[in-house]
Amino acid sequence: MNAFNVDEHMQALGAQARQAAARMARADAATKNAALKALARRLGDAGPELAEANARDVERAQAAGLAAPMVDRLRLSSKVIDTLIQGCLQLAAMPDVIGEIIGMRQQPTGIRVGQMRVPIGVFGMIYESRPNVTIEAASLAIKSGNAAILRGGSEAIESNRALAQMVADALAEAGLPPEAVQLVQTTDREAVGRLIAMPQYVDVIIPRGGKGLIERISRDAKVPVIKHLDGNCHVFVDAGADLDMAQAIVDNAKTQKYSPCNAAEGLLVARSVAAEFLPKIGAVFAAKGVEMRCDEAASAILRAPGALPEGASVVPAQESDWFEEYLAAVISIKVVEGVDEAIAHINHYSSHHTDAIVTRDHMHAQRFLREVDSASVMVNASTRFADGFEFGLGAEIGISTDKFHARGPVGIEGLTSLKYVVLGNGELRR
């Protein structure tokens, strides 16, 4: 057997993807939806091969001593499979945005000019551990009329191969090219380097993973990257806010789950309500074991005798805390003068992901929405809503902290571009 050549493999995947992309772009809605339904059916009928492949990945991970939460991410439980099936069926039921024409208007010369939504072409997806991303990316590629090259984590390679085979079979069943969704067949890291540097074959890279991975890919990529760096999200409790609502929102934003990127990492409180609000929310945090890293003013309130129950953890914040994405039972807390200082603090320290204000003041709400330079800005809602499904996009391929092209949760539209269409009757340029 010949040695496996990574470069040749990636070139072949790229060329096949580019060819398949042209056919996917032309595919009609019914055909794409048939492929999605076939994929859902195949997932539902999945025989022992998938379960066995997944079991081998899980065993290998356990043998290698991976931490339990990491091993859990690998598991294709029947609940995970069910969610994937529902996702495929929901996408099949959504209207097709490809080919829609927007803004068609007649110009003074007589030509009519509008914009048609078309697929981007080929996207490369780089992700870690969770094999369900294989199906999420595949189904989004099918619905959006793109081709995709998927590079999953080495720890999930057997599960990913089994899932990718189902995708290929579903595509073929619907009469679409099976090469529209291809899995990189090697776990060699060199394959990532090739995938992000083939502008002739790949139009955009979507990495999902840790900040280190995404920074490395962004630095080395020769094509655009839909970047999701960190989520250092804030809630600002304004003067005059409904403090019960504020408590519920801050609690939800911080503690409903600690690991998501849209969980709050920083709490800002207007000085005029700090003395009343901080002990209320502090008691919640104390009860849930959330460490509070506080500036001097917040510390003074929270450390006052009787302010918090025994055992509450209030520690001084360092400058680095304001930048931190904890993804843990920790929150930074700062007292600010008002909406001006809150906006300035957020624009300086936040990661431009998601930030919220709790307020009753219409002018403050308007200013916060307009001036906070983040992908999602919210009034009187939990930052945990920053999510493609919650925003009604129907599906999510990632959350972009960039301003270019797609910003915030990225759904099908983020995988499309708009080209100008011009309809004339023989008009000439004068």
What is the phi-psi region of residue 359: left when phi exceeds 0, alpha when psi lies from -120 to 50, beta otherwise?
Answer: beta
Nearest CA to 385 out of 260, 258, 232, 268 is that of 260
Alpha-carbon distance of 413 to 430, in angstroms, equals 36
Is 118 or 195 the residue whose CB approaches a second copy more closely?
Answer: 118
| CB 265 to a second copy: min, Å | 16
| CB 68 to a second copy: min, Å | 25
| CB 205 to a second copy: min, Å | 11
| CB 328 to a second copy: min, Å | 18
| CB 38 to a second copy: min, Å | 24
Question: How far is the CA of 222 from the CAs of 194, 335, 344, 399, in angstroms?
Answer: 10, 44, 34, 21
Alpha-carbon distance of 118 to 96, in angstroms, equals 11
Is 129 or 382 the residue whose CB approaches a second copy more closely?
Answer: 382
| CB 246 to a second copy: min, Å | 9
Who contacts 78 (Cβ-Cβ below 8 Å, separation ≥6)? none
Is 4 or 404 the residue whose CB approaches a second copy more closely?
Answer: 404
Sign of CA dihedral 81, 82, 87, 93: positive
Angle at 72 between CA 6 and CA 195, to 5 degrees: 20
Is 61 or 377 the residue whose CB approaches a second copy more closely?
Answer: 377
Element housing 296 (H / E): helix 296-302
Is 108 or 311 the residue whose CB approaches a second copy more closely?
Answer: 108
Is 59 or 427 the residue whose CB approaches a second copy more closely?
Answer: 427
Is 153 or 411 the residue whose CB approaches a second copy more closely?
Answer: 411
Binding site for a second copy (CB under 8 A): 22, 25-26, 99, 105, 107, 109, 111, 113, 116, 118, 120-121, 203-204, 224, 242, 245, 248-249, 252, 256, 347, 356, 369-371, 373-382, 384-386, 390-392, 403-405, 407-409, 417-429
Helices of type H across 174-270: 190-195, 211-220, 243-255
Is 16 or 134 the residue whose CB approaches a second copy more closely?
Answer: 16
Encode burial over 174-188: b for 16+ CB neighbours within 10 A, e otherwise.
bebbbbbbbbbbbee
| CB 4 to a second copy: min, Å | 31
| CB 377 to a second copy: min, Å | 6
Element housing 83 (H / E): helix 78-93
The position carrying tokens 């199906």 is 135
